[in-house]
Structure 1
Amino acid sequence: MPLTLLREHAFTRGLTDEQIAALAELATEVAFQENDVILVDGQHSTSFYLLLTGSVVVELRTPVSVMMVQALGPGNVFGWSALLDRQDTLFQVRAREHTTALEIDGAKLQARCMTDTRLGVELLHRILHVVAGRVKATELRFAEMCGIRI
């Protein structure tokens, strides 16, 4: 099942059949209910997720409030910090509705990328685009809060 889902996912589009099969070996389908907190900011990150159905919200928590940074739907990914050694999660991620995703263990994916460097380089480029998008979304939200038009 993960193999078919990965072949159809926007994040993996353009990967070779071998690369998709390698990811499928590490993937498990998971489900979340509305308002389930999937990732907690400040905690050690262990899983990388590819959204299949539903949606999640990426949030920045402060002691007094929670600010939505970005809403993500099918075809998006989150949990990229799980691919970095000793990196805590930077944002909280919460399900907005019933949501399904493929969960990949970050340590296992990182190990696979070290042995299959072509896969590692390809995923690095894709994840850097995700990180850049998250930075841009954060910048836009802060500018909006300050009344600045970008």
Structure 2
Amino acid sequence: MITTTYDLMITHPFLAGMSPQHVERLSRWACRAPFKAGTRIFEENGRAERFWLVRDGHVNLDIRVPGRGDVVVETIGPGTVVGWSWLFPPYRWHFGAVTAGPVLAIALDGPGVRRLCDADPELGYELTKRFMHVVVARMQATRIRLLDLSQAPV
């Protein structure tokens, strides 16, 4: 049985409760994105042009800390989303991301999804609410990790 991108998306927890019509419209901007272990998906401060729905595997989110290099602030796994910077100007990554092992994700084109959201404010509002939850959780995880680092010996 061939599984379409839509089929993978409609069952993804990040999109749970979203109307099938909205998921179908989003799926037009989506494709499968398999990654090998240790793949750098994006660099902190790089141009943010997409986001990924993680189906299988884990992704480490990191930040560059002077004197310490890249520090993992959170590891996210199946059912989560990687990348929110594509939604908010200036469209630059606030973190870096590298796979902790093999990952199967669904990549969505940021500029295409932004245009879709502009044309359909209901969809735009729904996605913005979902991504704001992600932003808050990531910032909180970063804060906690940096507090841990400030108390750790160098």
Provide TM-score, normalisation by structure 2. 0.92
Amino acid across the alignment from 1:66: D
In the TM superposition, structure 1's runs of 4+ consecutive aligned residues that sit over 3 Å from their partners are: none
Deviations 1:48-90 (A, max 9, x none): 1110111100001135311110000011101111122332111
Determine whether 1:40 maps to 2:22: no
1:101 paired residue number:
105
Q: Specify every segment of 5 or more residues in structure 2 that has no aligned partner in the other structure, as ranges.
A: none
Matched, 1:145 2:149: yes
In structure 1, stretches of 5+ residues that fail to align are none
Question: CA separation in 2, counterparts of 1:63 and 1:29?
Answer: 35
Cα distance in structure 1, aligned partners of 2:87 and 2:104: 21
| Number of residue pairs matched by the alignment | 148
Q: Percent identity over the alignment? A: 28
Contact 1:48/1:83 (<8 A) preserved? no
Q: Specify the SS of the correspondent of 1:49.
A: strand
| Residue 88 of structure 2 is aligned to residue 84 of structure 1 | yes
| 1:4 alignment partner in structure 2 | 7
SS state at 2:138 partner: helix
Q: C-alpha separation between the residues in 2 aligned to 1:13 and 1:140?
A: 28
Aligned Cα RMSD in Å? 1.3
Which of 134, 139, 149 is matched with 1:135 structurally?
A: 139
* Aligned-partner residue type, residue 81 of structure 1: S
Q: Out of 39, 50, 61, which is 1:58 matched to?
A: 61
* Structure 1 residues 94-133: Cα deviation after superposition (integer angstroms, max 9, x where no partner): 0000001110110000000000111100000000000000
- Residue 72 (1) aligns with residue 84 (2): no
